[in-house]
Amino acid sequence: MQLLCLILPALFATPATASAPDQLQLERVMLLYRHGVRTPLPGEIQLQEASGRPWPAWSEPPSELTPHGAAGARLMGRHDRQRLTAAGLFPAQGCPAPGQVWFWANTDQRTIASAQALAEGFAPGCRVDIGHRPEGSDDPLFHPIEAGVVDWDTQQAVRAIQQSTGGADALTAPHRDALSAMASILGCDAQHGMQACRPEHWHGGLSVSPDGHHLVLTGPIADTSGTAEAILMAYAEGRPMRDVGWGRTSAAQLEQLSQLHALLFGIYARPDYMAERVAAVMSGRIIQLLQDPQAPRLSVLVGSDNNIVALASVLGLHFKLPGYAEDDPPIGGALAIELWRDRSSGQRYVHIFYQAQSLAQLRALQQAPPVQLDLQVAACAAGHKKTLCPLDRVVAALKRADAHAVQR
């Protein structure tokens, strides 16, 4: 294991050009992508500009991948092909052989279209089927709670989240500077009475809906998370700065808005009770892909940010990419899981990293390779840094989530 740790910096520092040492062979890769740049979701924007200035309109319908977002996804697909070609998993040109790649998307237009764009970048001119369930339905792979395929108790969920986080106010307390940044972007001053403008109203709570089936979040996290995301999407789309928070934003403020967006996952995706259920079916599928010798060389799943955060939480991972706050999944980025085999011993290891265009790269649609951040699985991080983790330890972590799936 010490030898493996020593060679990894050279192996993964420049993935587009580095070749694997003789004793290591890349066997399979799984990529869990977040969809690309999209238009605002219905109801996503919870706050208005203090003086009543309208939000800039978008040309495309709500919730859809934009042409800019599709172009960014194609760049990521092209990078994946180059990286996996360098690793010896695919030829540099031509169409993948049948069964070598598998693309599966959640049921939203933005995820299906993102998967199509990724496939176009990875294998231009080739027919790559994009699997998905009927549009608008709840795919258990991405929405196991809504699909009713995991053990779930709303009251227990609220208690577990409160115990894990200390509650919504405890989550927001360290980030009042980010709330102040939002207030500034909204044009707040002493004359405005909106709750988002007044620190004394920055309080929220978490409860169970009257029907007993849903979580109800109130306060600044609920109000600012989607609003912040709409501003980030406008920046990533490459819109004029006058259309990005009414021209009141800066790079530092955008990262603060990213923090507000990420706070939502502190309720819905990162606490153990939520993570193990949101990622339950996904974990089972990844176990299958890791252990099945007939699995595709490349499996691409395209979902949403909460899918990535939940899986990262199950594996004990944290990440921060340029332009984004800690644990906020970059737009159009992917959590990558690679399976490597030691030729001499037959032992298999997992390498996990995050790859994404920085916010500035995505805005400009730069041709440069995306940022790659190596991640440490919690089960392998004790004592010293390791970028490879024995397969059995990763599977054991995933099984803790998979155990909550009550049907497939």
* pLDDT given for residue 110 in this prediction: 98
Question: Would you say residue 182 lies in a domain?
Answer: yes
* pLDDT given for residue 11 in this prediction: 40
Question: Would you say residue 56 lies in a domain?
Answer: no
For the chain, percent of residues with pLDDT exceeding 90: 86
Indicate whether 4 pLDDT > 50: no
* pLDDT given for residue 125 in this prediction: 97
* pLDDT given for residue 191 in this prediction: 67
Question: Which one-letter DSSP state was computed for residue 369?
Answer: P
* pLDDT given for residue 387 in this prediction: 80
SS3 151: coil
Please report the sign of the dihedral spanned by the C-alpha atoms of residue 302, residue 305, residue 307, residue 311: positive
Question: Would you say residue 259 lies in a domain?
Answer: yes
Identify the domain boundary among 268, 291, 317: 268
Q: Residue 274 corresponds to which amino acid?
A: M
Indicate whether 22 pLDDT > 80: no
To which H or E segment does residue 131 belong? Answer: strand 130-131
Indicate whether 9 pLDDT > 50: no
The reply to whether 322 and 344 lie within a common domain is yes
In 246-324, DSSP assigns E strands to 298-303
Question: Would you say residue 359 lies in a domain?
Answer: yes
* pLDDT given for residue 373 in this prediction: 97
The reply to whether 12 and 135 lie within a common domain is yes
The size of the chain, in residues, is 408
In 106-235, DSSP assigns E strands to 130-131, 205-208, 215-218
* pLDDT given for residue 189 in this prediction: 82
Do 235 and 249 meet the contact criterion of CB atoms below 8 Å apart? yes
CATH number assigned to the domain comprising residue 360: 3.40.50.1240
Q: What's the pLDDT tens digit per position in 78-134?
A: 999 999 999 999 999 999 999 999 999 999 999 999 999 999 999 999 999 999 999
Do 274 and 163 meet the contact criterion of CB atoms below 8 Å apart? no
In 241-388, DSSP assigns E strands to 298-303, 334-342, 348-356, 371-375
Identify the domain boundary among 268, 295, 318: 268
The closest of 227, 259, 260 to 245, measured between CA atoms, is: 227
Question: Would you say residue 408 lies in a domain?
Answer: no
Question: Would you say residue 164 lies in a domain?
Answer: yes
How far, in Å, CA of 390 to CA of 291, rounded?
A: 13
* pLDDT given for residue 199 in this prediction: 87
* pLDDT given for residue 13 in this prediction: 38
* Most confident segment among 13-17, 196-200, 397-401: 397-401
User: Mean per-residue pLDDT for 161-188?
Assistant: 95
* pLDDT given for residue 8 in this prediction: 39
For residue 334, list its beta bridge partners. 33, 355
Q: What's the pLDDT tens digit per position in 309-326?
A: 999 999 999 999 999 999
Residue 338, CA atoms < 13 Å, CB-side half-sphere: 26
Please report the sign of the dihedral spanned by the C-alpha atoms of residue 356, residue 137, residue 132, residue 377: positive
Residue 6's pLDDT band (boundaries 50, 70, 90)? very low
Do 168 and 205 meet the contact criterion of CB atoms below 8 Å apart? yes
How far apart, in Å, are the Cα atoms of 65 and each of 26, 53, 253?
A: 32, 25, 25
| β 215-218/371-375 pair status | unpaired
The reply to whether 220 and 305 lie within a common domain is no
Q: What is the mean pLDDT of the chain?
A: 92
Residue 17's pLDDT band (boundaries 50, 70, 90)? very low
How far, in Å, CA of 255 to CA of 262, rounded?
A: 10
Least confident of 10-24, 58-72, 77-91, 152-166: 10-24
Structure tokens at 217: 């979040």
Counted domains in the chain = 2
Question: Which one-letter DSSP state was computed for residue 346?
Answer: -
Identify the domain boundary among 268, 296, 328: 268
The reply to whether 264 and 293 lie within a common domain is no
3-state secondary structure 310-343: HHHHHCCCCCCCCCCCCCCCCCCCEEEEEEEEEC
* pLDDT given for residue 136 in this prediction: 92
How far, in Å, CA of 106 to CA of 265, rounded?
A: 19
Q: What's the pLDDT tens digit per position in 311-365?
A: 999 999 999 999 999 999 999 999 999 999 999 999 999 999 999 999 999 999 9
Residue 192's pLDDT band (boundaries 50, 70, 90)? low
The reply to whether 263 and 336 lie within a common domain is no
The reply to whether 129 and 278 lie within a common domain is yes
How far, in Å, CA of 7 to CA of 245, rounded?
A: 46
The reply to whether 110 and 11 lie within a common domain is yes
Question: Would you say residue 373 lies in a domain?
Answer: yes
The reply to whether 127 and 162 lie within a common domain is no
The reply to whether 136 and 11 lie within a common domain is yes
**C-alpha triplet 103, 104, 107: angle, nearest 5°:** 145
The reply to whether 142 and 173 lie within a common domain is no
How far, in Å, CA of 139 to CA of 314, rounded?
A: 20
Least confident of 190-199, 292-301, 393-402: 190-199
The reply to whether 254 and 390 lie within a common domain is no
User: Mean per-residue pLDDT for 262-285?
Assistant: 98
Domain of residue 158 covers 154-268
* pLDDT given for residue 201 in this prediction: 86
Question: Would you say residue 167 lies in a domain?
Answer: yes
The reply to whether 182 and 284 lie within a common domain is no
* pLDDT given for residue 23 in this prediction: 87
CB atoms inside a 10 Å sphere around CB 10: 11
